[in-house]
Amino acid sequence: MAKKLKLLITDKIDTTKLDPLRGYFDIDTRVGIKTDELLRGIASYHTIITRSSTALPKEILTKADNLKIIGRAGIGVDNIDIFEATKKSIAVLNAPKGNARVTAEHTIGLLFALFRHVPQANADLKKGIWGKSKYVGTQVYGKTLGIIGFGNVGKEVYRLAHGIGMDVVVCEPYVRLPKQVRKVTFEELLKEADILTFHVPHTYLTTNMLNRKTLELCKKGVYIINCSRGAVVEETAILEGLTSDHIAGFAVDVFVKEPKVNKKLLQFPNVIATPHIAGSTIESQRLSIEEVVSGIIHYLKGQPPSNLLNPQVFKKRLKRRKGRLTFDAVIFDCDSTLSGVEGIDELARQLGKGEEVAKLTKAAMDGTMNFEQVYERRFSLVHPSREHLHDLGKLYIEKLVTDAKGVIEALTFLGKDVYIVSGGFSPALLSLGKYLGIPEKNIFGNDVIHDENGKYIRFVEGPLRRNHGKLQIIRQIPGKKLVVGDSITDLETIEYVDLFVGYGGVTRREKVERAAPVYVYAQSLTPILILAGGFGECVKLLSTKYRKYVGKGLDLLMHPNHVKVEKNLLSELSQFKDLAYYNG
């Protein structure tokens, strides 16, 4: 009988839900294990299941020589160094659905408590005070709720709020929303909503999303609910807003420091606070562990878990199918792919920070530095105005890669859906997309909030500023997908799309060149047209104005100095040689 793997449980969980794992693991339960003990013993474990009490920072993970899976029985993974885990090929799973419903229920409960003064009236009555006239409430029906973040919790909050007759607007720049959901920008949401509710993870870019400047955009008398992460709202701004009556009420379940909360907040009568219990119910805790256990079993069986946070560690490749060189969607990066410009580097140069930011960009694109750390540093240096981004859009067009416009027109002619998914800034990307004829809905970038004079206020949080964010967006695009890009963040999609093409026509990155099944060295996108169209559709182009792109693309694609192609794709490409003599 094969020796079982070792599983460590570090937090209190419902152990009956571990039964499906007992055939795979010897289970060692050490609730409340100390850091020094974990450092000494972690090398012997294959899998760890934890909640929020146990931290797994870099210094611990570097000792985890045999660790393959970390399961977080909850949503937040602030306590896990995912970048270090990914470097060591450790899969990190969480439970995004387990407590989503109950967190949404808690959010709506706090909303009613705010509007009807439930805790205050209860406290007075227990003191013998009959405050019927004192606690005249406000009707929830018909009010506008602004939801920031439309993940599992945000979706459930939407469902509940809509069900009680609220008008709902949603700020979620990157996830495709159902048609019935009204999508707005963060700035529009702040101006329109009567109540704000936050449902985003805590990253550098969501830190203090609501601050003095953004609070100024809100209605006077706004209500605010935070059941996401404490640092998403700036406590100083909340205190000032409560003092000035700009904020009519604040309900909070999460704090910057826990359990030592800011007591100044609790002194306001219109503040309702709970001790981080939004996701804590008997049912949700069971569901969370079930979700993690299911993910672990999928991983052990060689199947990609739906709750895997760093999917690039899952190395199982989809089988390449004969005739696979036809695609529904062609997805381009922008910087150093469609255009010969690195946008943030160009902005930094204009702002006198060029050399420092260029080094950070190279580290991110080469994969030698944590992506979020790079963004944190770059965004602290570069605060572009509306005019800066307008000029960047013009520069993107001016420095467009050879044949890019014609190739995209040809792809559109063939009925392909063309996308731009980029870590660049949305206003500049939209200018480029308009020039290229790419629909606005197919362009994904990073949004910036400016004041009425065009001065920078802040960046808007979204997946494209987080590790693996590009992959998150691309996985949602329907159909067979071909992705074209130059960087490590583009390469991460390789296991989850039908074909990845590395592009080195502007900047050659060794890791991408080595791993990509197809790598274009030439400064031309015509080989992409051939790959995306396939034989039959390229034949159609021979009788159109796009014929010249077919000829050029074929010449480049068949020449190893211009395009590198994996051996197992060469047989599929051989059919294209016939196009040179095709008279149809």
- 229 as an active site residue: the answer is yes
- Pairing label, strands 329-332, 271-273: unpaired
Determine how β-strand 563-565 pairs with β-strand 518-520. antiparallel
The number of residues in the chain equals: 584
CB proximity list for 511: less than 8 A, separation 6 or greater = 366, 367, 488, 491
CA-based end-to-end distance of the chain: 64
- C-beta contacts of 112-118 below 8 A and 24+ residues apart: 112/140, 113/251, 113/272, 114/223, 114/225, 114/249, 114/250, 114/251, 114/270, 114/272, 115/139, 115/140, 115/223, 115/249
Under a CB-based contact definition with an 8 Å cutoff, are residues 572 and 324 in contact?
yes
Q: Determine whether 495 is an active site residue.
A: no
Q: Are 334 and 420 in contact (CB under 8 A)?
A: yes
Catalytic residue among 37, 258, 355, 566: 258
Whole-number Å distance between alpha carbons of 132 and 86: 58
Helix (H, G, I), strand (E, B), or coil: what is residue 93? Answer: strand
SS3 446: strand
How far apart, in whole angstroms, are the C-alpha atoms of residue 158 and residue 169?
Answer: 9
Name the region of 240 (left: φ>0; alpha: ψ -120 to 50; beta: rest): alpha
The active-site residue, picked from 51, 101, 229, 388, is: 229
Q: What is the DSSP letter of 466?
A: S
Among 202, 276, 378, 468, the active-site one is: 276
The residues that are catalytic are: 229, 258, 276
